[in-house]
Chains A and B, each alone.
Chain A
Amino acid sequence: KNQVEQSPQSLIILEGKNCTLQCNYTVSPFSNLRWYKQDTGRGPVSLTIMTFSENTKSNGRYTATLDADTKQSSLHITASQLSDSASYICVVTPTLNTDKLIFGTGTRLQVFP
C-alpha cells in the first residue's frame, strides 16, 4: 500500500535553532516528492520539489534532501523564525501524470521566542 509517514508528529524548538523533519514513503513507482508548508487556517504552499534523480533542493532557509534508495526525505530548517511555526507536509507523486498524490499527515512545528 502506498503510504507516506512523517515524524515527529509535533516539534517545539526555540527561535534561532535548527531542526530536521523526516518523511518515509513506500510509494512505488515514484515520480517526485514535494514539501508543503501549511500555516494555521491556510492552504498548503509548496516549498520544494525533487524528482527521483535529485538529492537536495533548497529554498532559502529550507533544505530538502531525498534518498530514493531508502525512500526517505528530510526537510532541514536553519535558524528558525517565529514565522516557521506551521505544519509541514510531505507529498509523493506515484507517477508523472497522475492526479492522485499521496499526502503525509504532517509535522506540526512550533517555534517559541
Chain B
Amino acid sequence: NAGVTQTPKFRILKIGQSMTLQCTQDMNHNYMYWYRQDPGMGLKLIYYSVGAGITDKGEVPNGYNVSRSTTEDFPLRLELAAPSQTSVYFCASSMRPGGGGKGTQYFGPGTRLLVL
C-alpha cells in the first residue's frame, strides 16, 4: 500500500492564480481531510469528506474548494491564490471519523505552497 499520496510536493504560485492539490489514498478509507499547517500553529482543518459525493467545511474553508467523486481521490482547489494561503497542506484519511476510537488518521507527505 502506498498509503496517502499528494502531488505536487512544492509549488510557487503568483497572486490570483489557481491550482489543484491532488490527494489519493489506497486504503479504501471513507473519511478524508485537508489540513493546512502554518509555522508555529497547529494543523487547521480546511475541508473534509465522509464518503464519495459528500464534503463539508472545516475550520478555515475560505478560498478553497473540494470535490470527492471517488473513494480514493480528494482534490483541493485554490481559486485566486493569495499570500495568506502560503502554507504546507496535508491530506489525511481514516477508516472512522477523525481516526475514531483507537484508530488513527494517516497523513500524506504534504504539499508546500508559496504564493508570491
A pairs with B: yes
Interface set of A (CB-CB < 8 Å, partner B): 4, 9, 32, 34, 41-46, 49, 51, 89, 93, 96-106
Interface size on B, residues (CB 8 A): 30
Interface set of B (CB-CB < 8 Å, partner A): 4, 31, 33, 40-45, 48, 50, 56, 58-59, 90, 92, 96-105, 107-110
Contact B48 A99 (CB under 8 A): yes
Among A9, A44, A45, A105, the most chain B Cβ lie within 10 Å of the Cβ of: A44
Closest A-B pairs by Cβ, 5 of them: A43-B107, A103-B42, A46-B104, A103-B43, A97-B97
In whole angstroms, how far apart are the Cα atoms of A4 and B108 in the complex? Answer: 23
Contact A43 B108 (CB under 8 A): yes
A1 CB to nearest chain B CB (Å): 12
Provide the residues of chain B in CB contact with A4, threshold 8 Å.
42
A97 CB to nearest chain B CB (Å): 5
In whole angstroms, how far apart are the Cα atoms of A106 and B38 in the complex? Answer: 12
Contact A105 B41 (CB under 8 A): yes
Provide the residues of chain A in CB contact with B108, threshold 8 Å.
43
Q: Which single member of A32, A99, A103 contacts B97 (CB below 8 Å)?
A: A99
Provide the residues of chain B in CB contact with A45, threshold 8 Å.
107
Provide the residues of chain A in CB contact with B31, threshold 8 Å.
99
Provide the residues of chain B in CB contact with A51, threshold 8 Å.
101-102
